[in-house]
Amino acid sequence: MSENQYTYAVARIRSKELGLLNNQFLEQLLAAKSYGECLKLLADKGWGGDEHLTAEEILMREREKTWSLIGELVDDLSVFDVFLYANDYHNLKAAIKLVCSGQEEHGNIFLSQATIPPEQVLEAVRTHAFGDLPEHMRETAQEAFESLLHTKDGQLCDLIVDRGALDAIHQTGKQATNELLRLYAEITVAAADIKIAVRAQKTGKPLDLIKRALAPCDTLDVDRLAYAAVGGVDAICAYLEGTSYADAVPELKTSPSAFERWCDNLLIRKIKPQQYNAFTIGPLAAYILARENEIKTVRIILSGKLNHLSEESIRERLREMYV
C-alpha cells in the first residue's frame, strides 16, 4: 500500500476507534444486575444487532465485523496472517482428530477467521495431501496426524500442533517489516512458553517433553526455562526475574489467569502509541488487537454474570482497554 492509502485507511480506523469500548462502559457492564441487562447494554452499543443471539454468536459477529472492515481497507490481508495462525492450527488439530476418529460430522468445531478455509485443511488431512497446506504447516500436520494415528495420544498431538503454531507465529513475526507485528509475535510466543512451563511443572512433565513443547523466541532462553520448569514454580520465577518479564512474577505467583491478564495488558500498553501513528499499517494492526482484547473482556464479564460471580471476582480478570 502507498502512503496515501495508509493515510486513508488510518483515517477510517480513527473514526472506528471512537466506538471502541472504554473503561466507563465496562463499569456499566459490571454494574448491570443481570446477564440479560449486559446483553441489552451491548445491543445499545451496536453489538449483535436486532436479532436474538447468544453471547458467543454476538462475539463471533463482532470479530467478523473487524475483519470485514480491515478487508475493505487493505488489498492484501496476508500481512495480518500472524494474528490468525492460532485459528489455523486449531482447525488443523480439529481436522486431525476428526479424521483419526473416523467421524464425518464436525458441527461447529472449526473457526471461521483463518488464513486457510477449514474445509481445505480437513480435506488435506483426510486425503493425506499435506503438501496442499501452507509450507509452515505441512511438517507439523503430518507429524501430528501420524502421531495420533499410531499412539492414540491426544495430548501429544496437541503438543505437536501447538508447538507448530508458535513456531509459525514467531517466524512470521521475525520476517515482518512492521515493529508492532514483530512485537505481537514475540510477546505471544514468550507468554505461551511461560504458561507451558508452569503447566508442565504442575503436572510433573519430563524435561524432554517440556523442551519439545517450548518454542524458541528472542526474549527467553527456552533451555533454561525448561530446566526451571523441572525445578518447580520458584525456579521458574527465579529465572524470569532476570528477563524482561520480571514484572510478571508476582502475577504468576498469584494465578495463571493473573499472569495471562498481565500479558494481555502488556500488549495493549505496547500498541497504544499507534494511536498517534498515521502512515503505516501499525494502527490497523493495533485496532485488530484492540478489538480482540475488548471481545475477550466482554466474554469474561458475560461469563461472570452468567455464573453469578461477584463483581470483585470479575473485575480481577478484566483487561485494560486500548482507548
How many domains is the chain built from?
3
Kindly report, residue by residue over 156-193, the tens digit of the pLDDT: 999 999 999 999 999 999 999 999 999 999 999 999 99
Here the CATH number for the domain that contains residue 171 is 1.20.1690
Give the three-class secondary structure for 119: helix
CA distance 110 to 118: 6
Do 171 and 84 share a domain, yes or no? yes
Print the domain residue range for 132. 80-175
* Packing angle of the helix pair 118-126, 85-101 (nearest 10 deg): 40
Q: What is the pLDDT of residue 156?
A: 96
pLDDT digits (tens, 9 = 90+) for 293-312: 999 999 999 999 999 999 99
Rounded CA separation 312/301 (Å): 11
In this prediction the pTM is 0.93
pLDDT band at 133 (very low <50, low <70, confident <90, very high): very high
Q: Which of 19, 73, 82, 75 minimizes the C-alpha distance to 47?
A: 19
Q: Which of 175, 190, 207 is the last residue of a domain?
A: 175
| Domain's final residue, options 273, 289, 315 | 273
- pLDDT, residue 7, reads 84
Q: Which residue has the cell 454474570?
A: 305
* Burial class (CB within 10 angstroms; exposed 0-12, middle 13-18, buried 19+) of 197: buried
Q: Do 159 and 189 belong together in one domain?
A: no
pLDDT (tens digit, 9 = 90+) per residue, 226-285?
999 999 999 999 999 999 999 999 999 999 889 999 999 999 999 999 988 888 899 999
With bands split at pLDDT 50, 70 and 90, how would you rate the model's confidence at 50? low
pLDDT confidence of 2, banded at 50, 70, 90?
Answer: low
